């Protein structure tokens, strides 16, 4: 039954991805800007620009360009970047590690910080702890990621010189440098995520705390910590997992900004560079990849429900 559900969901992603592909393709073509003119440079003549346009196939009708692109996608070929002269697949694979590392580190950090904060705020409802956590949540929600990033850089990299300002070191080049360079970007990116998860956790835990079975557990003499971990948190987990999943969209948006601020050569930076340069094949591929990731994460979240709540069946 579960397998059938997964298969149905996976098949359903095909039309979703087709809509995304069409939308991205048309959006890019309707956006002003000419990759050939950008590649040719400021001093190029009209003839030079035309030559490059022909070389890139941009002189063909849009319908033809779309058909070629779709055909290539169907064969698993994402095309070649206009600028980098590399296969887009190669580019993406090259940039995957920094983004995956940043996103994973952020996710772990955010969950480890936000869930205890949210549970504590709910448990200490109405006290200064609750107000502090919720106040910080509102702040984390409201302050843009780049402001947090620059502030962290100023304090920890410029004033105290504890951490590097920017850059990324691949895991294969040494764990020390890898982790040190991830701290500030992850803290920046985690802030909004912590705020979001902490608020939802608090709300969800509060709802469960007033349930009869919690009162019963307490009446049986179970310690508060045991009640929270065994009865409250598990039953409050579905909304929390949902928001973590939905928050992946936030994470993707945040990665774009954070990678720019901290000069991390990941997929976010690649997206910004490709959009600014009107590198159509790269933008199309990255957007498709992010969309695919988002769809799959939502599927994983849905499947997680069955583990957290045995009453849920597919």
Partner 1 sequence: MSLMRLLAFAVVLAAALPSSPASAQTTLRVVMHSDLKIVDPIWTTAYIVRNHGYMVYDTLFAMDAKGEIRPQMVDKYDVSADKLTYTMTLRDGLVWHDGKPVTAEDCVASVKRWAAKDSLGQKMFSFVKEIQVVNPKSFKIVLKEQTGLVLQALGKPSSNVPFMMPKRVADTDPSTQISDFTGSGPFVFKKDEWKAGDKAVYVKFAQYKPRPEPPSGLAGGKVAKVDRIEWRAIPDHQTATNALLAGEIDMIESPPHDLQPVLKKDANIKLLNLNPLGNQYVFRFNTLHKPFDNPKVRQAAWYAFNQEDFLKAVVGDPASYKVCKAMFVCGTPLESTKGMEGLLESNFEKSRALLKEAGYDGTPIVLLQSTDLAVLTNLAPVAKDLLEKGGFKVDMQSMDWQTLVARRAKKDPPAQGGWHAFLTSWVAADILNPVMAGFFNAGCDKAMFGWPCDKEIESLRDQYARETNPAKLKAIAEAVQVRVTHYPTHIHVGQWYQAAAVRKSVDGNIEAPVTVFWNVEKKGR
| Binding-site ranges for partner 1 (CB under 8 A) | 31-34, 37-46, 48-49, 51-52, 55, 83-85, 94-95, 150, 153-154, 157-158, 160-169, 173-177, 179-180, 183, 260-263, 265, 269-270, 272-273, 276-278
Give the nearest distance from C-beta 36 to partner 1 in angstroms.
Answer: 9
What value does the CA radius of gyration of the chain take, rounded to a whole number of Å? 24
Token representation of residue 185:
């970007």
Q: Which is nearer to partner 1, 32 or 210 (CB)?
A: 32
In this complex, which beta carbon is closest to partner 1, that of residue 223 or of residue 276? 276
Nearest residue to 225 (alpha-carbon basis) of 233, 235, 237, 215: 233
Q: Which runs of consecutive H residues, i.e. helices, occur in the chain?
A: 2-30, 35-40, 46-56, 62-74, 88-123, 128-142, 145-152, 175-209, 212-219, 224-226, 233-261, 267-276, 280-308
CA distance 126 to 123: 9
CA distance 267 to 301: 23
CB of residue 177 vs partner 1: minimum separation in angstroms?
Answer: 4
Half-sphere exposure of 60 (CA within 13 A, CB side): 11
Nearer to partner 1, 164 or 203 (CB): 164
Rounded CA gap, 93 and 71, in Å?
22
Q: Which residues contact 203 (CB under 8 A, 6 or more apart)?
A: 122, 239
Tell me the DSSP string of 84-147: T-SBHHHHHHHHHHHHHHHHHHHHHHHHHHHHHHHHHHHHTTTSHHHHHHHHHHHHHHHS-HHH
Least Å from the CB of residue 53 to partner 1: 10
Q: Is the Cα dihedral 114, 116, 118, 120 positive or negative?
A: negative
Smallest distance, Å, CB 69 to partner 1?
20
* 8 A C-beta contact, residue 169 and residue 285: no
Question: At closest approach, how far in Å is the CB of 267 from partner 1?
Answer: 10
- Please state the closest distance from residue 114 (CB atom) to partner 1, in A: 18
| Between 97 and 309, CB nearer to partner 1 | 97
Minimum separation from the CB atom of position 65 to partner 1 (A): 17
CB nearer to partner 1: pick between 236 and 256: 256
- Of 163 and 301, which CB lies nearer to partner 1 in the complex structure? 163
Choice between 179 and 293, CB closer to partner 1: 179
């Amino acid at each position: 039954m579960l397998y059938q559900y997964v298969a149905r969901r996976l098949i359903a992603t095909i039309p979703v991805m087709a809509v995304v592909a069409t939308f991205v393709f048309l959006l890019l073509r309707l956006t002003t800007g000419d990759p050939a003119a950008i590649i040719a440079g400021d001093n190029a003549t009209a003839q030079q620009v035309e030559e490059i346009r022909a070389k890139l196939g941009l002189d063909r009708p849009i319908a033809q360009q779309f058909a070629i692109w779709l055909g290539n996608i169907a064969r698993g070929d994402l095309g070649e970047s206009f600028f980098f002269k590399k296969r887009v697949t190669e580019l993406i694979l090259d940039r995957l590690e920094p983004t995956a590392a940043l996103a994973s580190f952020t996710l772990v950090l955010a969950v480890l910080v936000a869930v205890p904060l949210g549970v504590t705020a709910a448990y200490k409802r109405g006290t200064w702890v609750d107000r502090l956590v919720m106040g910080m949540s509102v702040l984390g929600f409201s302050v843009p990621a780049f402001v947090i990033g620059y502030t962290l850089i100023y304090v920890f990299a410029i004033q105290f010189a504890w951490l590097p300002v920017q850059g990324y070191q691949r895991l294969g080049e040494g764990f020390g440098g890898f982790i040190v360079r991830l701290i500030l970007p992850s803290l920046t990116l985690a802030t909004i995520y912590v705020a979001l998860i902490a608020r939802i956790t608090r709300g969800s835990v509060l709802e469960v705390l007033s349930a009869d079975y919690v009162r019963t557990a307490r009446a049986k003499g179970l310690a508060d910590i045991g009640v929270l971990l065994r009865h409250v948190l598990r039953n409050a987990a579905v909304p929390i997992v949902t928001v973590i999943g939905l928050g992946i969209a936030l994470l993707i948006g945040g990665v774009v900004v954070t990678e720019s601020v901290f000069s991390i050569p990941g997929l976010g930076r690649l997206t910004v560079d490709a959009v600014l340069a009107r590198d159509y094949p790269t933008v199309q591929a990255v957007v498709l990849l992010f969309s695919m990731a988002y769809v799959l994460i939502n599927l994983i979240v849905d499947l997680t429900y069955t583990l957290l709540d045995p009453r849920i069946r597919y």
